[in-house]
Structure 1
Amino acid sequence: MSRKEAHLQDSDRRRQDWELARKGIQLILNNKYEDALKIFENREDSIPLSAGYLFTIFMNAAMSFDDAVLTLSLNTLKDLETRCSQNLGWLRTFKNKVFGNYNDVSPYELLEQQITLADTQVCHAVLYMMTEDSTAGLVKGAWALRKAWGLYHSAYKELATQYKKIYGFSANLPETPSMWRLSESANNTPNSTPATTPVSPGEPPHLQFAEPSNSGIRKRLYQFFSPVSTPQICPEEVKRLMCAVSFGYGLFHLCVSLLPTSALRFVHILGFASDRKVGIEALMFSRSGPDMRAPLASLALLWYHTVVNPSFIHFNSDDLSTSVEEAEAIINESNHEFSESSIFLFFKARLYRLKKKIDEAVSTYTKAVKYSGIRELAVLCLHEVGWCYLMQLEFQKALKSFNQLKKNESIKHLYSYLAALCHGCMDDMNMVAVMSQNIKLIEMEKQCELDPKISRRSGLLMPPKSPFYYRLLTYEMLYLWDSLPSQEDIIIIVQDCEDQGDPLKHSKNVDPIVGLRPLILGVCLGCLGRREEAINLLSSIRGQREKLVVDKGTRRGYRHIAAFAMYETAMLLMKEGNSREAKELLDTILHQYSSYDFENRLNFKIHSALKEIAAAS
């Protein structure tokens, strides 16, 4: 077989592999899990198929938080990382240059491995930040992103150069941050194609990666240690690889941009930065390509627009409207291919929830459960159904969902607590006592991973109190999980807090946590546009909390009340145009409050708000 024939055969095999990988991802997303696994089961010799399997397991882990799935995901990541690293790195390059490249790995395959290796590092980072609710998890995530940065930087630079040679220098590529700008010298090599005369995609030229224009020893070292040398890549492969690297490149920028200030300082020390806008543009570019990562890029964008961004734009309703519009456009464009995909239905339901169309959200979640072939996704949808009913203050219906969810061993701690709250809201104190005892047994026997925040709150369930007492704890859960209801139901909550909190009418009512009622009432008043009342009410909470004479453990455990009250006050001040005072409050939270419930979640919001203030000033 001639070298040309061997090259064509390898090219056909590679095309079959990535087309199969794309098909496997499509099957996964269209609820045909077993059919997809049959495609991926013969993946040992194929990096694209192995990467497709990794993305499948990773999505499962990201949705479920199940220990077994997380372990499988981490093991799969390590195996693929080892395989992709074999032909990369300076030591391997040195051996190949001195002793010859006996593996005969093509430049295309090296690029595929480099991009996949970078993807594994981003997946590592996401899992670290999801599973380790501490600074250590954030540091591990930042270090994994640092390794991914170098790989993406190299692959993106090389591919962008080749892409512009083929399709013209005016090609619509994602914007490159200043620290990643392509050097002009790379675009002006003697054999480069002029920007005004792009090569036709139907006529693949013989291409070479651009090398640094520097003469002397630096150029020779680059040529010697570069793992990719004199490749011949057709436009189809360049386009696919460009879309492939743009997925990880975009996800990288998006993940780093979401890190809190403390982690970003460490990230800057490591020598790289991020740009959320660039990340979104790169994901939009990736989702339009032929690579298997295209539908995953759509999911990443939907996750950002429907889950992440709404938590960060509490103070800017225009940004929320933009996110809703972007998510709606992506769902509509994907409808022909994924109309019955349970995961796309999940995001469609999230979109309804953001628009406060709770009945449509419940209906869509129920449809997603019906089509879902993945248990974890069905559990996630059932969780959302329960929260939707809770947002409507339909405690009986919410209880039905939570009773189903608490049968799941790994998550029954949280849902037993929520079920107890629903019983309390309906004045069923006997069941509150039963559920409280069950929670104590779960904690004593350590039947599942215990959440300290829930353990603290479960101690408030007994002895039995008034239904309003349990409604306040329910309102707290809705608020902390960014699930406050529509304006009509917020009015009901305001009336409930104002009426039941009046000592002249209900002298026996006791707040479960000092400052909780004014926090909930202040937040709801702010949502209704009654800002002056809200600011006065929220500002009084810090003083109430400081006057407490309680043991240090209890005081530390509920310090979140004052921290969130100050944050909400700052958000209202920003809307009033008082950014200076808002910034002072946000800085106070960061420097004077620590080790309180939902600290990382609030720090993310504070970080986003401070960036908004800095951008406006």
Structure 2
Amino acid sequence: MSDSDCDEEAFHDASEDIARPEAMDLPCAIDEAKLAMDLFMNNKFDEARTLIRPWARTSMYHALGHGTFQFLEAVLTFEPQHIEAASESLEQSVEVCNRYRKKTTVYESIGKIMKKTNYDALSEEEIHAELCYAECLLLRAVLTFVEDENLISFVKGGLRMRSCLNAYKECWNILKNKNWEDCKHKPHFESGVRMGVGAYNLLISMLPARIMKLLEFIGFSGNRETGLKQLSIGCGLRGSLRQILCAMVLLGFHLFVLYVLGYGDGDLELAEVIIQDQLSVFPNGVWYNFFKARLEYVKGHVNEAIEWYMKAWTSQSEWVQFHHLCYWELMWAHCIKQDWCSARDFADLLLQESRWSRTIYGYQKASFMCMMRDKLVGDQNEELVQLFRDIPGWKQRIAGKSIPMEKFAVKKCERFFAQGNKLVLPAVELLYLWNGFKVLGKQPELIRPLLHLVEKTMKLLEKERAQDNNFFVDNRCLLLLLKGMCHKYLGNFSDAERLFQELFSCEKELVADHYLVPYATYELGTLYWSKNDLNLATVTLENAKNNYKGYALESRLHFRIHSALADLRSFRKSDSPTESSNSNVMDNNSNSPF
């Protein structure tokens, strides 16, 4: 099988009649790994697993593939048993890969310090084993990151990257120093090195400054531009085994990570090119239909996004967990349209089918029901009240820690009863916390109806002030933040700044929602950036980072502040001719990405 055999029908036929080898050498292993990848991208998940599983304990590429499938199931479900199974599988994969790596004696290790390593002496099997070993270690470390968003987990995950980092450094040295003249599998190795180095740099670069300082002290550093450049190079190695993975990491970063934890927009033009290219190969593949939907969503094309999400949802039924990703996205798409009924229905599907966080799903469903309170009939009001009673009992602990958003939801349930069975625009508050305003801001026709809703609610709150003495200031400050966000994205910067400042004046009167002040400070800082007042933007963002502690969802905001400050520094460098000419993100082969 040649590396260029990418025809979809050929892979389907091969999956039915493939002649399995009696022994698994490196060329056969790479061919089968590539076949499994294409089966997977064509929604043939079980066939891909079946192809990989028999050799998972003896072949490095099959071991890596098996661990990767287990890893994907874990991150799609977030269920403890799947995370545990993935962890065990990846440990086994590490052991298999380690068998094929070059064994270095103590004498040889000392010799490395004294003289340059002869990488030409390594066999192809040994260099690919080093790469597969590094990839397994990377997946194992990422598994720690995705368990929850507490700072301790990120430190733990960062420490697990140590051995992974060393393996990738060795792979990088091999790529740059080996004579590849007679190595026909170089593109497969190179795309893997580019993918790992790129993903590593992106992961480290997204961590907040206080974690970065700790990790830099023990030898870690990461650069976003380096990561993106390496992934782009890997994405351009057509026909290579990890080319698709490079593309998926780039899309995940530009379409998801930056919109949840970051400040700026992703590179949507690049995302469009990658998606169209991959859809031409996998037109019915669930992954790229899903990425296409997400691309339309972040552009603010909500109706088009819903159509693509529905296509992705219905394109396969083997991997039910993937449906949950579609439900999540469809829920927010309908929320943006203020279609509370549809949003509630998708939240209910998540509540019934997914066990990632019943507390979060339940609170989302309850929030959407609160938004349509005047349309609830019969037992629906009783269902709503019972839902708020049940949500706290579903709170879970992962690795001994509570999930921050679950803690937030439980506090809001207490607030619901303390306020006489009501909350103020809880679904819009959630939309803000999940960074939904970045999507709303792309289309003024989506913002204006929301602004009208917030202003209407403010008038009602004033009328009911006497009935809501304890939390009136908190509720009013939430509405000031939401109204300020609407004006910010409509370009009414003066009105937005006035509303944020009015919120700050009430800081000492807040009873429960202390998170509103640091979050509004962050929004004011990015507003100053929009006005091109870079000095004031920096001061305000630093103020948001350093002057507030112990509020709800603090880690989430610190990720956004870190991203904004990093982007601001990059923006200033690009504006400075001197610094721009001196900046060098791996412009030549001698520079190291570590």
User: Cα RMSD (Å) of the superposition?
Assistant: 2.9
Structure 1 residue 313: Cα displacement: 5.9
For 1:436-515, what aligned pairs fall within 5 Å after superposition?
436-444=385-393, 451-462=406-417, 470=423, 472-484=425-437, 485=440, 486-502=443-459, 506-508=463-465, 513=475, 515=477
Structure 1 residue 41: Cα displacement: 1.5
For 1:43-192, what aligned pairs fall within 5 Å after superposition?
43=55, 44-86=57-99, 88=101, 107-162=123-178, 166=180
User: Is the contact made by 1:280 and 1:301 (CA closer than 8 Å) also made in structure 2?
Assistant: yes
Note closer, same or farther for the CA distance 1:573–1:95 as it changes in structure 2 (3 Å cut).
closer
Note closer, same or farther for the CA distance 1:11–1:38 as it changes in structure 2 (3 Å cut).
closer
Q: Deviations over 1:526-570 (max 9, x none)?
A: 00000011011112223312233x4xxxx4xx3221111000000
Looking at structure 1, the residues matched to 397 and 212 of structure 2 have their Cα atoms a distance apart, in angstroms, of: 33
Structure 1 stretch 80-89 or stretch 50-59: which is displaced more?
A: 80-89
Looking at structure 2, the residues matched to 69 and 131 of structure 1 have their Cα atoms a distance apart, in angstroms, of: 11
User: Is the contact made by 1:25 and 1:56 (CA closer than 8 Å) also made in structure 2?
Assistant: no
1:27 to 27, 32, 39: 39
2:237 equivalent to 1:293: no
Partner of 1:4: none
TM-score, length basis structure 2: 0.81
User: Is the contact made by 1:425 and 1:470 (CA closer than 8 Å) also made in structure 2?
Assistant: no
Matched position secondary structure for 1:253: helix
2:26 equivalent to 1:14: yes
User: Is the contact made by 1:417 and 1:435 (CA closer than 8 Å) also made in structure 2?
Assistant: no
When Rg is computed on C-alpha atoms for both structures, the one with the higher figure is 1
Looking at structure 2, the residues matched to 11 and 403 of structure 1 have their Cα atoms a distance apart, in angstroms, of: 49
Partner of 1:307: 256
2:357 equivalent to 1:395: no
2:217 equivalent to 1:269: yes
Structure 1 residue 362: Cα displacement: 1.0
User: Is the contact made by 1:541 and 1:562 (CA closer than 8 Å) also made in structure 2?
Assistant: yes
Q: How many residues align?
A: 520
Partner of 2:325: 380
User: Is the contact made by 2:480 and 2:500 (CA closer than 8 Å) also made in structure 1?
Assistant: yes
Structure 1 residue 279: Cα displacement: 1.3
Identical columns (%): 22
Looking at structure 2, the residues matched to 272 and 237 of structure 1 have their Cα atoms a distance apart, in angstroms, of: 30
TM-score, length basis structure 1: 0.78
Q: Which amino acid aligns with 1:455?
A: V
1:518 to 457, 476, 480: 480
Matched position secondary structure for 1:246: helix
Looking at structure 2, the residues matched to 117 and 461 of structure 1 have their Cα atoms a distance apart, in angstroms, of: 51
Partner of 1:249: 197
Structure 1 residue 56: Cα displacement: 1.8
Structure 1 stretch 503-512 or stretch 35-44: which is displaced more?
A: 503-512
Structure 1 residue 481: Cα displacement: 0.7
Matched position secondary structure for 1:582: helix
Matched position secondary structure for 1:526: helix
Looking at structure 1, the residues matched to 391 and 456 of structure 2 have their Cα atoms a distance apart, in angstroms, of: 36
User: Is the contact made by 1:358 and 1:388 (CA closer than 8 Å) also made in structure 2?
Assistant: yes
Unaligned runs of 5+ in 2: 1-20, 111-120, 574-594
Note closer, same or farther for the CA distance 1:80–1:592 as it changes in structure 2 (3 Å cut).
same
Q: Deviations over 1:393-438 (max 9, x none)?
A: 0011112212222113623322222222222222228634423323
User: Is the contact made by 1:526 and 1:572 (CA closer than 8 Å) also made in structure 2?
Assistant: yes
Note closer, same or farther for the CA distance 1:528–1:447 as it changes in structure 2 (3 Å cut).
closer
User: Is the contact made by 1:121 and 1:147 (CA closer than 8 Å) also made in structure 2?
Assistant: yes
Looking at structure 1, the residues matched to 381 and 367 of structure 2 have their Cα atoms a distance apart, in angstroms, of: 7
Structure 1 residue 19: Cα displacement: 1.0
Q: Which amino acid aligns with 1:283?
A: L
Looking at structure 1, the residues matched to 461 and 260 of structure 2 have their Cα atoms a distance apart, in angstroms, of: 37
2:587 equivalent to 1:613: no
Structure 1 residue 49: Cα displacement: 1.2
Partner of 2:585: none
Partner of 2:294: 350
Looking at structure 2, the residues matched to 414 and 132 of structure 1 have their Cα atoms a distance apart, in angstroms, of: 13
User: Is the contact made by 2:362 and 2:391 (CA closer than 8 Å) also made in structure 1?
Assistant: no
Q: Deviations over 1:33-80 (max 9, x none)?
A: 111111112122110111112222222222221222211111111111
Q: Which amino acid aligns with 2:38?
A: Q
Note closer, same or farther for the CA distance 1:420–1:572 as it changes in structure 2 (3 Å cut).
same
Matched position secondary structure for 1:112: helix
Note closer, same or farther for the CA distance 1:96–1:584 as it changes in structure 2 (3 Å cut).
closer
Note closer, same or farther for the CA distance 1:161–1:12 as it changes in structure 2 (3 Å cut).
farther
User: Is the contact made by 1:416 and 1:435 (CA closer than 8 Å) also made in structure 2?
Assistant: no
Matched position secondary structure for 1:20: helix
Looking at structure 2, the residues matched to 439 and 516 of structure 1 have their Cα atoms a distance apart, in angstroms, of: 20
2:367 equivalent to 1:421: yes
2:503 equivalent to 1:541: yes
Structure 1 residue 27: Cα displacement: 1.1
Note closer, same or farther for the CA distance 1:124–1:543 as it changes in structure 2 (3 Å cut).
farther
Looking at structure 1, the residues matched to 432 and 479 of structure 2 have their Cα atoms a distance apart, in angstroms, of: 12
Looking at structure 2, the residues matched to 269 and 447 of structure 1 have their Cα atoms a distance apart, in angstroms, of: 33
2:545 to 565, 590, 599: 590
Looking at structure 2, the residues matched to 473 and 35 of structure 1 have their Cα atoms a distance apart, in angstroms, of: 44
Looking at structure 2, the residues matched to 439 and 350 of structure 1 have their Cα atoms a distance apart, in angstroms, of: 31
User: Is the contact made by 2:358 and 2:395 (CA closer than 8 Å) also made in structure 1?
Assistant: no
1:323 to 267, 271, 280: 267
User: Is the contact made by 2:130 and 2:171 (CA closer than 8 Å) also made in structure 1?
Assistant: yes
Note closer, same or farther for the CA distance 1:470–1:347 as it changes in structure 2 (3 Å cut).
farther
Matched position secondary structure for 1:460: helix
Partner of 1:336: 280
Note closer, same or farther for the CA distance 1:246–1:590 as it changes in structure 2 (3 Å cut).
same
Structure 1 stretch 344-353 or stretch 470-479: which is displaced more?
A: 470-479
Matched position secondary structure for 1:131: coil
Note closer, same or farther for the CA distance 1:538–1:370 as it changes in structure 2 (3 Å cut).
same
Q: Which amino acid aligns with 1:559?
A: H
Matched position secondary structure for 2:436: coil
Note closer, same or farther for the CA distance 1:89–1:268 as it changes in structure 2 (3 Å cut).
farther
Structure 1 residue 463: Cα displacement: 6.5
User: Is the contact made by 1:63 and 1:380 (CA closer than 8 Å) also made in structure 2?
Assistant: yes
Q: Which amino acid aligns with 2:459?
A: D
Q: Which amino acid aligns with 2:429?
A: E
User: Is the contact made by 2:188 and 2:242 (CA closer than 8 Å) also made in structure 1?
Assistant: no
Looking at structure 1, the residues matched to 380 and 105 of structure 2 have their Cα atoms a distance apart, in angstroms, of: 65
Note closer, same or farther for the CA distance 1:10–1:108 as it changes in structure 2 (3 Å cut).
farther
User: Is the contact made by 1:256 and 1:273 (CA closer than 8 Å) also made in structure 2?
Assistant: yes
Partner of 1:563: 518
User: Is the contact made by 1:118 and 1:148 (CA closer than 8 Å) also made in structure 2?
Assistant: yes
Matched position secondary structure for 2:267: helix
